Each structure stands twice: as C-alpha cells, then as structure tokens.
C-alpha cells in the first residue's frame, strides 16, 4: 500500500472518529437538556422534594439490568404501540417496562409534560406510572407491575374453576368507572384516556381493577384545558361521533366504557368476525328492546344469580345510555361512577345476606383462587 493510500485511510478513520465524537457529544447535550427541562417542570409545578422523587428518571442501564437487556423471556405483552417487559429493580421492586416508538426532539417536551402529570395521578384503580428514561430515542416508561392479567382475559379466556359472578363483575365495573371519573374530574388537569377497552384494564392479585395505558408512549398533544393523547383508539370501542366530528371529548371515553359494560354483561367480544362478515356486539345490544331477547344475550353465569335480575337490568340500561349515538345524550363518568357505586354497595349487601342463608355457596365470596394468576398484559 503506497503512502497516499495509507494517508487516505488514516484521514477517513479520523473523519469517522470525529463524526462519532460529535454525535456522542450532541447526544449527551440533548440528554442533559431533557433532564434540565424535566427538573424545571417539577419546580414550575411547585412539587416539593417528596413529590418530585415520586417521578423517577431511570437510566438506560437500570432498565437493561432490570429486564436482562430486554430479554424476550421477560416479554409480558406486545401490541401495535410497543412491547411490555417484566422487570425487577435493584431494590427488588417488580415493574413493567414499556418500550415503544421513538419521538423526535420537538415532541420530547410534550412527552415530559405528560409523564409528570400522569406520574402524580394517585388513585387505587389507576396503574401507577413510576417514571421514564430520557437517555434513548426509543420511549421507555416504567409502571408498577400488576400480576393478574386483564379484564379481557378474565371475560374471554375464563378459568373453569373460577366463576366470574355478577357481584365480581359489578365491582370491577364500579372501580373502572370511578378511576375514569377521577381522571376526568379530580386530577390537576382533566385527562381523557382515549383508548378504554377491556385489555387496558389490569387486575391485581385480588382482582381489583387497574386502568392502564394512557397512550403517553404515542405522540401527545397538550393544551391548557385537559390532557389527551393522539390515539386513534381501538376498533369496536371508538365513539361513532368522533368519526364525524374528529373532536374527542370526555363523552367519547363514556362511549368506550359503555362497550366495556356490554362485554361485562355478555361475556362476548365487541367484534365477532366470521367467514361471512363481522358483527358488532354493540349494535346488536342497543337494538334489543325486548327483555327476553336481552336475557338471551347476557352471560349465563350472571343470570345464575336470580335475586340480582333487577340490578342487572339497571346496568343494561346504563350501558345503553353510555352508547347513545350523540355525546350530549350520554351521562358523565361521574354520574356513571355514582350509580355503579350505589348499585355495587347494594349488591354486596344482598350477597352478604344470601351468604348467611347459604354459607356453603362459594360463588358469593370475594375469595379468589391463587391458580388463576396470569402474568400477562395485553394492549
């Protein structure tokens, strides 16, 4: 190799090294600016030290260590929005780490804004967002780990040894409604979920409902009146009014919750696809006016509680109100939550009274078998 060739090779190596050094320097600068912005937003919102520590910034190394470098064996859920991994932090705490799409630099500020808001949502029926990682182009979100699968799993892949009775279903519906009402009305800025569905309702080891997946791993849009996400939602759950107006509101969440209520009542999926066509469960449900026809659609398990028939019909009518074609005709989530809470309390009293009469009936107890735990997320 002549001197000119050697010189050219050295020059090329120097250029590559300089380019790598410059990119590394720029990347470190970007990360530093993100962290500075993150801490600045915490101070701007007047969070004290204790509150600020609730929103953690995880390093890329911490998340790799927690998930064995995102090993496939740690996967607990996959979907169009990313992959969820089960992880364990250095202190032994179990977490769910979501890795999804990347954002460009113009979207990072919005992402950080929403992370801060949602990480301070404090409700027993909302999955806790513990923090995020700002060191990578790919989004990494860290949630508390919920061990017992989803409401979709419970309804559509039931355990034969575990009967999902009416009182259990009503309690879960009431918990979900209360969580969404809290997001709409009680947090610092109203939050619209925009992707409410049974697979976004997790269940803990006691089958307590936990609403999850607010869509912050997608591109976000924040204004001064509410927090929302640029989610198109899920087929079968989307508000038909949204298709016409392209305007999402709290009543759109109400419609999606109405679909979940129909799932709870019937034990069937929102869309049933056959070789001939796709049938909408919701359209079939809202078009029924005869009580006997409605009873035929209901899950036989809940009809086994004959003394609950009136309460079941109350929820049937509530679901129809939620599914009104126009948002103005639907109740608010707060109204729904109050109605379901009262009904759930009354049902619990009935179940307790029935248990005293027939204490040997296991279907009336809130005791759940350990062998039904399923460490799977579906989203």
How far apart are the C-alpha atoms of 249 and 328, rounded to whole Å? Answer: 11
Which of 153, 195, 213, 253 is an active site residue? 195
How far apart are the C-alpha atoms of 62 and 90, rounded to whole Å? Answer: 8
Residue 100: strand pairing partners: 82
The answer to whether the CB of 60 falls within 8 A of the CB of 135 is yes
Pull the structure tokens for residue 255: 């419609």
Question: Cα torsion at 141, 145, 148, 151 (round to 10°)?
Answer: -40
How far apart are the C-alpha atoms of 298 and 316, rounded to whole Å? Answer: 9
The closest of 302, 106, 98, 369 to 213, measured between CA atoms, is: 98
Helix (H, G, I), strand (E, B) or coil at 136: coil
The answer to whether the CB of 243 falls within 8 A of the CB of 226 is no
The closest of 250, 155, 140 to 201, measured between CA atoms, is: 155
Helix (H, G, I), strand (E, B) or coil at 224: coil
- Told to judge if 195 belongs to the known catalytic residues of this protein, a careful annotator would answer yes
How far apart are the C-alpha atoms of 144 and 86, rounded to whole Å? Answer: 10
The closest of 375, 359, 368, 299 to 159, measured between CA atoms, is: 368
How far apart are the C-alpha atoms of 168 and 300, rounded to whole Å? Answer: 14
Pull the structure tokens for residue 194: 């925009």
How far apart are the C-alpha atoms of 192 and 183, rounded to whole Å? Answer: 7
Task: Name the maximum alpha-carbon separation found in the chain.
Answer: 100
Catalytic residues, by residue number, are: 195
């Amino acid at each position: 190799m002549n001197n000119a060739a050697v010189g050219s090779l050295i020059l090329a190596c120097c250029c590559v090294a300089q380019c790598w050094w410059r990119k590394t320097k720029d990347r470190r600068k970007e990360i530093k600016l993100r962290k500075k912005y993150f801490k600045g937003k915490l101070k701007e919102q007047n969070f004290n030290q204790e509150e600020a520590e609730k929103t953690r910034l995880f390093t890329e190394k911490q998340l790799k260590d927690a998930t064995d470098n995102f090993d496939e064996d740690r996967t607990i859920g996959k979907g169009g929005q990313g992959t969820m991994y089960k992880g364990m932090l250095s202190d032994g705490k179990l977490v769910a780490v979501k890795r999804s799409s990347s954002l460009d630099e113009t979207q990072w500020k919005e992402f950080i804004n929403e992370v801060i808001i949602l990480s301070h949502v404090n409700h027993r029926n909302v999955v806790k967002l513990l923090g995020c990682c700002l060191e990578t182009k790919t989004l990494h979100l860290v949630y508390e780990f919920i061990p017992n699968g989803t409401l979709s799993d419970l309804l559509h892949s039931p355990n034969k040894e575990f009967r999902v009775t009416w009182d259990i279903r009503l309690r879960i519906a009431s918990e979900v409604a209360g969580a969404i009402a809290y997001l709409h009305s009680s947090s610092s800025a109203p939050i619209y979920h925009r992707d409410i569905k049974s697979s976004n309702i997790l269940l803990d080891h006691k089958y307590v409902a936990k609403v999850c997946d607010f869509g912050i791993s997608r591109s976000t849009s924040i204004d001064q009146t509410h927090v929302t996400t640029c989610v198109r939602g899920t087929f079968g759950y989307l508000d038909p009014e949204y298709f016409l107006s392209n305007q999402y509101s709290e009543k759109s969440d109400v419609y999606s919750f109405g679909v979940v209520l129909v799932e709870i009542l019937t034990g069937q999926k929102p869309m049933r696809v056959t070789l001939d066509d796709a049938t909408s469960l919701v359209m079939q449900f809202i078009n029924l006016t005869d009580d006997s026809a409605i009873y035929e659609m209901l899950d036989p398990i809940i009809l086994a509680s004959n003394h609950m028939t009136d309460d079941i019909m109350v929820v049937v009518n509530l679901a129809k109100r939620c599914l009104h074609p126009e948002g103005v005709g639907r109740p608010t989530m707060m109204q729904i939550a109050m109605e379901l809470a009262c009904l759930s309390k009354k049902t619990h009293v009935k179940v307790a009274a029935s248990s005293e009469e027939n204490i040997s009936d296991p279907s009336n107890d809130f005791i759940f078998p350990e062998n039904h735990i399923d460490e799977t997320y579906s989203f």
